[in-house]
Structure 1
Amino acid sequence: MQQTIALGEPYPVFGTQWSDAPSPGDSQAKNRTTRKPWTPTEDLVLISAWLNTSKDPIISNGQRLDAFWKRIAIYYEASDKISDEDKRGPTNCKQRWAKINESVCTFVGSYEAASAQKTSGQNENDVMKLALDIFFNDYKHKFTMKHC
């Protein structure tokens, strides 16, 4: 005897194929938070936190790396420019700092090249425009961290 299933009707489910428990992917998706992009204000507070923490004459470089980034995160969170929903942990601060540092250091090379090409009558705005053009030509994307 051949059993037929009409389209649109539920197919038969066998005991080993069905479970009422959520799949592991479902619970992970519910626990995952959405990525919140950094604002220019947050970047500036992070830069200030890094500078003030790294230049501290009392502790100086006599601290472990994880303690250093914890201090930066505490300084960052203590800023009155950061709201409660904008709090970031030490790992977030470290990752963002790495991105800022790499991008700005790369741009500094373009800025130095533009400064070397400065001619009589050009002002700082002209040099900055040339540096942005050099950066774009070299790296094929715009420099987006002028605020840093």
Structure 2
Amino acid sequence: MDPNQYNFQQSMFHLIQNQQNSNPQNSQFPPPPTNSTVFFSSPNNPNMRPVKRKPREVFTREEDTLLMQSWLNVSKDPIVGVDQKVDSFWLRITDNYNQYHGQSREKLQGQLKSRWHRINSLVQKFVGCYKQAVHGKKSGASEKDILVNAHAFFEQDEGAPFNLEYAWRLLKDEPKWMGASTENSSKRSKNSTSGAYTASPNSETPSSYEFNSSSPMERPMGQKAAKRKGKAKENTNATEPPSSVNSDTMTKRMNLMENLARLKEEENKLVKEKMESEARLKEEENKLIKEKMEFEAMQFIMSDTSKMNDSRREFHEKRCNNLKEKYGW
């Protein structure tokens, strides 16, 4: 036997005996650590080495929102939907999240899955509290009053405030979430003896009217319906005779070419009209410039020369002769 292995077994035997037969206060061995540091040792390395536990990943509000949107995007795929293997489903969610994470850090599949279950559980519990607040609302109560009561019910049941109202607002009207996330749903039921409300599990899916939705959403096409629609289209194309298919294709192609030719003709017409309009504007602009110059020349010719000296009057006469010759006056 290896001497190191034998010494290790002997040490463990004496350690167990001392812990069973002696008072812990008088023991020569120190008490086990109470903090989050775990110590490991081995026969080949008897020195203790601390290993820190990895802290739990903390999600920001923006990261929660991106996670929920990724879950909804994958769930709304009518061909795949939520009716698929869990690993494949969450792999697609992880890819979607990490594709748009922006300044946030990338997340592992396990981190996203754990956070989603936490959000889903708390939001489903708040759904039950909101439902109870709606049913018990007084006359004239506003939406704000209902929310205040729902938060109070939640804190009464869970012993902590509900800090995921933004998640509830994002998910509450989504048909896919309302239909799929029923595992952790709950409603507040009244105890007949004490009259108090308690949270009890419920697999019933909350309906959209319970959230006072202003615009009911149409439920997305389901996975099976989408597949049936695709197969029906394939079967229809397969049963049509080849000549009919070719004829339809040629007709569509000819119609497309005619439309393109008509659009090209209209485009050329618009270009021509634009060029003619620009030419007219340029002509009018030149005409205005010419009229302005003639007006200024006429003003110069009609200037009063009585107060001019001889040299100035001589220059004025020469300039007037040039202007008259230029404009044909």
The question of a shared fold, defined as TM-score above 0.5 by the shorter chain, is answered with yes
If asked which structure has higher relative contact order (CA below 8 Å, sep 6+), I would say 1
Q: TM class, shorter-chain normalised?
A: 0.7 to 0.9
Question: Could you say what the CA RMSD is over the residues aligned between the two structures, in angstroms?
Answer: 2.1
Alignment of 1:1-80 (within 5 A): 23=48, 25-26=49-50, 28-29=51-52, 33-61=54-82, 63-79=84-100
Structure having the higher helix fraction is 2
Correspondence list, 1:84-95, <5 A: 85-95=104-114
Question: After superposition, what is the alpha-carbon deviation per residue over 1:8-66, rounded to whole angstroms, capped at 9, x for unaligned?
Answer: xxxxxxxxxxx87864x43x43xx65433101111111011111101211222453211
Partner amino acid, structure 1, of 2:132: A
Structure 2 residue runs of 5 or longer lacking an equivalent are 1-43, 168-329
Match of 1:140 in 2: 159
Structure 1 residues 20 and 137, CA gap change in structure 2 (3 angstroms): closer
Tell me which amino acid in the other structure corresponds to 1:89.
L
Runs of 4+ in 1 over 2 A off after TM superposition: 19-23, 32-36, 60-63
**In structure 1, C-alpha distance between the alignment counterparts of 2:130 and 2:73, rounded to whole Å:** 25
Equivalent residues, number: 124
2-structure distance, mates of 1:52, 1:66: 16
Q: Distance in 2 between matches of 1:104 and 1:131?
A: 12
Residue 106 (structure 1) aligns with: 125
**In structure 1, distance between residues paired with 2:144 and 2:102:** 31
Structure 1: segments with no counterpart, 5+ residues: 1-18
The 1:38–1:137 alpha-carbon spacing in structure 2 relative to 1, beyond 3 Å, is: same
Larger Rg: 2
Q: Distance in 2 between matches of 1:125 and 1:62?
A: 37
For residues 21 and 51 of structure 1, do their structure 2 counterparts lie closer, same or farther at Cα, with a shift above 3 Å needed? Answer: same
Rounded to whole Å, the distance in 2 between the matches of 1:22 and 1:74 is 43
Question: Which amino acid is the alignment partner of residue 108 of structure 2?
Answer: G
Higher fraction of strand: 2
Distance (whole Å) between structure 1 residues aligned to residue 128 and residue 55 of structure 2: 35
TM-score by length of 1: 0.74
Residue in structure 1 matched with residue 145 of structure 2 by the alignment: 126
Q: Residues 42 and 82 of structure 1 are in contact (CA less than 8 Å); yes or no, is this contact kept in structure 2?
A: no
CA contact under 8 A between 1:53 and 1:68: conserved in structure 2? yes
User: CA separation in 2, counterparts of 1:91 and 1:127?
Assistant: 36
Partner Cα separation in structure 2 for residue 120 and residue 20 of structure 1:
74
Contact 2:57 2:111 in 1 (8 A): no
1:58 partner letter: I
What is the SS of the residue equivalent to 1:38? coil
Q: Percent identity?
A: 33
User: In structure 1, what is the equivalent of residue 213 of structure 2?
Assistant: none
